Chain A
Amino acid sequence: MKALDTYNPFTIAVYFLATAGIAMFCMQPILLALALIGAMALCILRHDVRSARTHLGFWALFFLAALLNPLLSHNGASVLLVIGNAPITAESIFWGMTSGAAILSVLYLFCSFGAIMQSDKLLYLFGKLSPRLSLILSMGLRYVSLFSEQWRKIKQAQISLGLYKNDNILESARGELRIFSILLSWALENGIVTANSMSARGYGTGKRTHFSIFSFTWRDGLLLSVTLLLAAGTIVPLALGAVTFTFYPTLHLHHAGALSYLCYLSYGALVALPILLETEDAVKWKCLRSKI
């Protein structure tokens, strides 16, 4: 059982929005280091990113950012080497690594977010805004999967009939086009059945209500308030300039005593929150099981 999945979608959305939002806009190396460690740990703990190739791709992006920036921006006092006429500075490399960390932590956070927020949870959020929008989205999602499945089936049927030629690009483009055109007729044909099924079940006979299987419990209230508290604890010192980091001309970290510590502690706790929930859940489960 994954602990975070059991919370109300609203709570989950607020948590990820706060954590990723801070990581995206702070440009502060210490906060971003915390974000990156936390986001990666969560992703690995929950097995949200399964393939090693995805991890490698993410880190390639990080190194790309770290190397590309010094090639484009030549600010900074400590010159490491000169390529052509362009100086490569340590500050510029550090700026690249920091922005790479921002991208990477947001990517990892979104991987977990995507795995937790499945379509029905997203729809629940939209449903709060408009029940009609939520129904349209749900039907849309249903149709996308129907459509792609039928596309695959038609293509396979045509291949085994020897009618689908993919010897060259032109032929295979023509083949895809033929499939697309028949898919449109198919979708219209099936749309009628779906419309019938909707009206047969009273669609349009009166005002619709919106049903969901999610409820907002005291646990959600608790997690939501902790999230907001910790986010405020991070954002307020950030806005007051208590942890401002300047890259150019030389690297400099502004320190403002207790307020700075509050910022690091709050964000560290915020990032660690889901990891704590996951492990607490696992430990609790083990204890319960040992009693059985």
Chain B
Amino acid sequence: MEMLKIENLTFSYPQSTHRVLRDVSFGIEEGEFCVLCGATGSGKSTLLRLCKRELAPNGQRSGQILINGTPTEQLSAREAAVRVGFVCQQPDQQIVCDKVWHELAFGLENLGLSQNEIARRVAEMAGYLGIEPWFDRQVKELSGGQKQLLNLASVMVMHPDLLILDEPTSQLDPIAAAEFLHTLSKINRDFSLTVLIAEHRLEELVPMCDRLIVLKDGTLLGADAPDVLMPRIAQDPALLASMPTAVRVACAIGDQSYPLSVKEGRAMIAKYADPTRILPENAPKSGRSKALELKNVYFRYARELPDTLADLSLSLYEGETLCVLGGNGSGKSTMLGVASGVHKPYAGSVLVFGKKLNEYKNQTLYRENLALLPQDVQTVFLHNTVEEEMKDAGVDLSALPFDLTPLLGMHPYDLSGGEQQLAALAKVLATNPKILLLDEPTKGLDAEKKQHLLEILRTLRSRGVSILIVTHDVEFAALCADRCVLFFRGSAVSDGLPRTFFAENNFYTTAARRMSRGYFQNAVTARDLVALCRGEEVL
């Protein structure tokens, strides 16, 4: 019997003739790990929500959704809640209670279980998922990764048959995201729990899934094992762009093996290996002046806490794009706070165009000099429509390197992650900054939106804007950086041009580099690899 069976599902939202889902049919066997993919707006979220009755959107629906043979609408309220578990994007907003243990018990309290039964289930789950060390803590003290793990655990205690996750890692950094996905795959293997997950982060997920379900504009392209489906995905450039590096390289060089993981990718690259070939590094022009300089900066959040930044020295040259990489808590975001004048360092100095920060009086710093786009872009908005937002900030829409006009009438909170990013960026650019500071700009963006952002940043750079990006996203950094810096324990430990930087790193590096280590000297992006395999020159 199939755990989830969808038959001829068609759906449209109220007062809309557009069918979000069109005649979708597929089935999932018990114990399968299934990944649902497709571009933003292809109907992924709608499909997932229709499978969880309590969250099903209102609208015109035809076709059937069967959970273990029973149509969802025939399940009792209790069964519907227990048998299908659902975890969504926002780690914070899903949490109901203020204490970790209370949150874990919440669902079980709703089911009216006894104190002993709840105690046993909660203890079991906390032990299995490693929540024990922070079992007594308050939710607000947890990191994003821990919050999402808590959300997973508080669904798992209810013993669901089917676990549905809607982009659970889009708000997490890559390390926390990878940990979350591995926990998920462990649960799937240990308990043969059926998992259906929608994600942008396909680099790790595709190699470990049993079934790939591909949606394109509301219709099903296929639902099968990834290697079976890959030849069809390869026909569609937009879909292919979201697939793992290995398969993108294989398709570009015409290799028919469709490797998915780094391991399989290496086996393919081995055939083309030529360790003597070196790609030229785009050396920076010499004699440029510094746009932003941090000199021996020390900072801590409170007297009794350790230093967050310790003896940090960092320069951003005029017209360059600098990427700062590093793990969680290495002080990257704090550095942006110090550079933008939000935090005051207790020693050292910050210079903007050779002038100290405190010499910029009456907010002249933020007029035509420096602007910061925060990590949580929602915090940039203050109004009810994008248009008011733009008017308030004094944005000249025609001068933007992208088009915002279709979004003007909407509420900023109703935009998708990528659109919010653009609207926020427009607001930031309104002050004509010469220095742009970006905090994790690729968080929650799919492959297509990342490419778009990359083009915008390149346009800005060609206009002479100096850009400082703090990111966990090594693949994105390899594509957009002129120079990269690695942060560790509050200071910059290594600094280099991207090809050298990622080629010298063994762990903190791109998938393309991991695939070609030992075979090519300094290929760090998929494009580099393709060119080297084909024997072309790259600039």
Query: Which residues of chain A have a CB within 8 Å of any CB of chain B?
Result: 119-120, 123, 131, 135, 138-139, 141-142, 145-146, 149-150, 153-154, 156-163, 165, 167, 178-179, 181-182, 185-186, 189-190, 193-194, 196-213
Contacts and interface: CB of A to CB of B under 8 A. Distances in A.
A209 B118 contact: yes
B212 interface: no
A196 B90 CA distance: 12
29 contacts: A119-B99, A120-B98, A120-B99, A138-B97, A142-B96, A145-B139, A145-B140, A146-B92, A150-B379, A153-B374, A157-B379, A158-B382, A160-B371, A162-B363, A162-B371, A178-B382, A186-B378, A190-B92, A193-B88, A193-B90, A193-B93, A197-B151, A200-B81, A202-B81, A205-B77, A209-B108, A211-B102, A211-B105, A212-B115
Interface string B228-263: 000000000000000000000000000000000000
B371 A142 contact: no
A151 to B, nearest CB: 10
B16 to A, nearest CB: 20
Nearest to A197: B94
B114 A197 contact: no
Contact of A149 (B105, B140, B367, B393): B140
Interface in B146-191: 151, 154-155, 158
B367 A197 contact: no
Given A154-B379, A198-B96, A161 B55 contact: no
A161 B394 CA distance: 12
B113 interface: yes
Contacts of A142: 95-98, 139-140
Nearest to A198: B96
Classify chain B: how many residues form its interface, as a range.
35 or more
Nearest to A131: B109
Main secondary structure of the interface of A (DSSP, over half): helix
A58 B380 CA distance: 42
Contacts of A119: 98-99, 138
Given A201-B155, A211-B118, A162 B431 contact: yes
Contacts of A206: 77-78, 110-112
A119 B137 CA distance: 11
B384 A185 contact: yes
A160 B342 contact: yes
Given A141-B98, A211-B105, A185 B413 contact: yes
B388 to A, nearest CB: 11
Nearest to A146: B92
A160 B483 CA distance: 25
B5 interface: no
A95 B455 CA distance: 78
Contacts of B202: none
B429 to A, nearest CB: 10
B485 interface: no
A161 B94 contact: no
A149 B77 CA distance: 35
Contacts of B109: 131, 208-211
B110 A204 contact: yes
A209 B105 CA distance: 10
Interface in B59-118: 77-78, 81-82, 85-86, 88, 90, 92-99, 101-102, 105-115, 118
Nearest to B52: A200
B427 interface: yes
Contacts of A161: 366, 371-372, 380, 393, 427-428, 431
B340 interface: yes
Given A160-B366, A211-B105, A139 B110 contact: no
A187 to B, nearest CB: 10
B107 to A, nearest CB: 4
Given A120-B102, A153-B376, A161-B380, A211 B54 contact: no
Contacts of A208: 109-110, 112
B118 to A, nearest CB: 4
Contacts of A199: 54-55, 81
Contacts of A190: 90, 92-93
- Most A-side CB within 10 Å, residue of B109, B155, B341, B365: B109
Given A202-B158, A211-B118, 18 more contacts: A119-B99, A138-B102, A145-B138, A154-B379, A158-B382, A161-B366, A161-B427, A161-B428, A165-B363, A190-B92, A193-B94, A194-B95, A197-B94, A198-B106, A202-B110, A205-B77, A209-B114, A211-B105
